[in-house]
Chains A and B, each alone.
Chain A
Amino acid sequence: MSLTFILLALLVLAVVGYMVGRGKALSSAGGDARELHSLPGYYGWNVVVSTLVPSLLLLVAWLFVQPIILNSQVSSRISEETIAASSLDLVMSDVVRVAEGLDVAVSQGGMSSDEASSLRTELTDVRSRLGQVGVALGSDVTSETLRAAQTYRSISSTGYLLRSIAVLAVAIAGLAFGVMRTNKDFRARNVVEAAVRYLLIAAASIAILTTVGIVLSLIFNTVEFFRLYPASEFFFGLVWSPSFGGGSELGIVPLIWATLYISLIALAVAVPIGLFAAIYLSEYATPHVRAIAKPLLEILAGIPTIVYGLFALLTVGPLLASFFGSGGALGVNWMSGASSVFTAGVVMGIMLIPFVSSLSDDIINAVPQAMRDGSLGLGATHSETVKQVILPAALPGIVGAILLAASRAIGETMIVVLGAGAAARLSLNPLEAMTTVTAKIVSQLTGDADFASPEALVAFALGMTLFVITLGLNIVALYIVRKYREQYD
């Protein structure tokens, strides 16, 4: 029985359970809902909960466990020589493909199920037989693979049968239990509300699960990478030149350098503009100007990064090249192509302007009015008040905002992938193309590399580095911002 069928059956049981539970509760109270402890619907929901929760838990557990058992059962039947000749993973994927092919053949009526389980390679050409029903196999099927595939099929079909029986049995038992408990004094609402509460806790825990997932997937693959490639060379190597044939040099220093360089340029663009815009909007602008200019600036924050990437690649880059490139307007040849650190940095700076300005705006607005009034009352001009009273008071918050912007810049991907270039280089010239940590994560994981090779695994080590840097920046920034906010609240 398929998964959809089981789920449908569970749904039907749940609906039936709701009706029965509600009906039984009402009849136990002689049809008078006022005699019941809870509203009648809660009795129905109580039965639904006791029907669905255990059976769904069992189903999920089964979905996880069955493939593991199946793999160990089948792989124990494959001889040592076959595994030595290729690898267990490859053989297993062959087995699974043949087994799926047999399933397709049976379901299309090209083969009876008896025939599928008694097929022998000595007697039939399995590959062409499966080819007839539209299952293409990469190579001829050995008798060992075929037998393993047949075992796979028989175990998995038994597994599916057992799964359906077990899940439905648990569901029916739960239904019976729920109905049995139902009488007019049963506190159905408390039970249902407790169940809902656990559901809410589970939803809230997904944030933790996500973090755990990120950390685990990074750590496992990073450890795997460091087993193949020495950590000291990764962290201190000055050359980045992956070659998929082996013998790559995977030093992170040039990537980190370019990442920081681009972020620095981006901040040099975004911080002054963003900060002055925030000061003007919160201190000088009339409500009318503010109501127009602020949303307009914030449009910049709502534009997807791919747009900025294209803007860097096709508009800003060629524009810069027409000034600084060979044959350009300035007559200098400092820029060889459209992509450069400067291109990416400037465009990223544009992206960060609203980020800096709206965060600083909030922080400046949080400075108490009494401080402004005091300063103005002593005869300071408005700009002196801003420079000598408001900014010092808001400084920790603004530093926090800049750190958050820096973490954004370091983790930004699309702009650097499209605008910064692909060659890893250690250079001071901002008009040269360089490449960053995020751009290399993309290029190492979207190529054709084998996942087990150091050239692909290095992306996880890069991701780990990125995660640690941005996490550190975020934690420091949030700490500063929070600490500051407490002063005036």
Chain B
Amino acid sequence: MTDTTLTPPSGNANAPAPRRIQSILELDPLTKKRNAAEARFKLYGIVAIAIGLFFLVALLWAILSNGLGAFSQTFIKVDVPLVQSQIDDAEKSVVKTSKYRAIIDEAFAKELAGANITTDMSDKDLQKLFSSGAAATVRDFALANPDKIGTTVTFDLIASSRVDGYLKGRVEREDLAEDKNLDAAHLDLADQMADAGILEKRFNWSFITGTDASDSRPEQAGIGASMIGSLFMMLVVLFLSLPIGVAASIYLEEFAPQNKFTDLIEVNISNLAAVPSIVFGILGLAVFIQFMHLPQSAPLVGGLVLTLMTLPTIIISTRASLKAVPPSIRDAALGVGASKMQSIFHHVLPLAMPGILTGTIIGLAQALGETAPLLLIGMVGFIASNFPDGVAAGFFAPNSAMPAQIYEWAKRADPAFYERAWGGIIVLLVFLMTMNIIAIILRRRFERRW
């Protein structure tokens, strides 16, 4: 605004000084002030967006820098001779894994000697380098492959979480001062082993495909079982909320007369969309578990609760895409003699389908990341250490879900689980991103502009 004809501020009015003639190119003070205010205001906007984007970057950085570690894992390469007599002996004893541990100790000592690494640590101290699940790995292999007994097998045994953390830079030497699980001597040994190629960091498939492990074995915990739990939950949500949501939207958009009942439904839907998710958890607990006696922690119950939660979202988006189909399509169908029901099911619904699917996928993505209601129906605190056997068990047997599993890890005491929690978030976000991208592609490809 370079309006030079503006009168100067009214303060000058009582001093009848001769009016200074201004150049049209020179700004008067008020205009300068107003222009400065304008620039400031614009700057506030830019700063606000910058802060918002900064938070986004900080969040993503926190996720990636903390979570990528979960996808690699330190393994110790040991040649273990499987001797029949030793295995028979171990299988007969009460604490089978401790016998297997002795077998590993012996093999590991040979391995160290072979690499010219000398250590004065006892077997018991050396064991701390391994995960406590290492013995079970050897045992499972020996029992599953009886033909390999009598030969020497090269195992990649999981290192303990502290050694793993040291190689990833998460555990520092100073941290070990008060740690009873490991001391600095172990780390020196780990360095030597890494140089000799016995200790090796590799991509950790078992984090993606594995099951949760108990508190003492963070290095073995994986998100696979809870992924299956989430999958079954999403199946329930998809197969219930899509038909119900579409049916409800068709009724409300195409058939519902303007009356109190319709109003009641509309008010209910818009309110349910804003009810806190934890309240749906209370509903699930009271109705599905206390009243209907469905099994606790089951993906079926989780799916039912999430269905009720996502229905409003799906109904709102479905109605929008039904509304976007122009009335001429309906009129044309009615004009050639179709009934109202036929015009909707044969013509309007197929045309609205891309929009409906997009809305459904976004609703599913929301449901996939929801945690709070799952806490109340018992999907947290359940240790998902087994895969469900069969489809029925997938729905009815207790399981966890991805966000619930992340919460469970975040609550545990060992910081090694935090890395798993961040890693779990990466997996979860990859799923959400894929779903959203599919939704965007669907919208770009198939949605018609009328």
Contacts and interface: CB of A to CB of B under 8 A. Distances in A.
User: Do A and B come from the same complex?
Assistant: yes
B62 A445 contact: no
Interface string B244-257: 11011011100110
Nearest to B5: A379
Contacts, number: 258
Given A280-B45, A383-B41, A441-B282, A300 B248 contact: no
A119 interface: no
Contacts of A445: 282, 285, 375-376
A414 B279 contact: no
A463 B279 contact: yes
Interface stretch (A170-178, A214-222, A366-374): A214-222
A208 B434 CA distance: 33
B274 A273 contact: no
A64 to B, nearest CB: 10
B107 to A, nearest CB: 38
A206 interface: yes
A75 interface: no
**From B63, B286, B339, B418, residue with most partner A Cβ within 10 Å:** B286
Contact of A281 (B49, B59, B285, B422): B49
Given A207-B311, A381-B1, A357 B52 contact: yes
B66 interface: yes
B265 interface: yes
B49 A379 contact: no
Contacts of A357: 52
SS of A interface (majority): helix
Contacts of A463: 278-279, 282
B308 A204 contact: no
B52 A466 contact: no
Contacts of A275: 48
A412 B55 CA distance: 19
Contacts of B285: 217, 445
A109 interface: no
A353 B53 CA distance: 10
B37 interface: yes
Nearest to B341: A193
B34 A384 contact: yes
Q: Which of B52, B271, B290 has the most CB of A within 10 A?
A: B52
Contact of A466 (B45, B244, B256, B279): B279
B391 interface: no
Nearest to A194: B341
Contacts of A334: none
Contacts of B55: 300, 350, 353
B277 A411 contact: yes
A208 B244 contact: no
B275 A302 contact: no
Contacts of B245: 203
A303 B247 contact: no
Contact of A299 (B40, B56, B276, B280): B56
Contacts of B265: 204-205, 207-208
Interface of A: 189, 193, 196-197, 199-208, 210-211, 213-214, 217-218, 220-221, 272-277, 279-281, 283-284, 293, 296-297, 299-300, 302-311, 313-315, 350, 353-354, 357, 379-384, 386-387, 404, 407-408, 410-414, 417-418, 438, 441-442, 445-446, 451, 459-460, 463, 466-467, 470-471, 474-475, 478
23 contacts: A204-B248, A217-B285, A273-B48, A277-B49, A280-B46, A293-B53, A297-B56, A302-B432, A303-B429, A306-B369, A308-B59, A309-B410, A310-B410, A313-B410, A382-B41, A383-B37, A383-B38, A384-B38, A411-B277, A441-B282, A460-B286, A466-B276, A478-B270
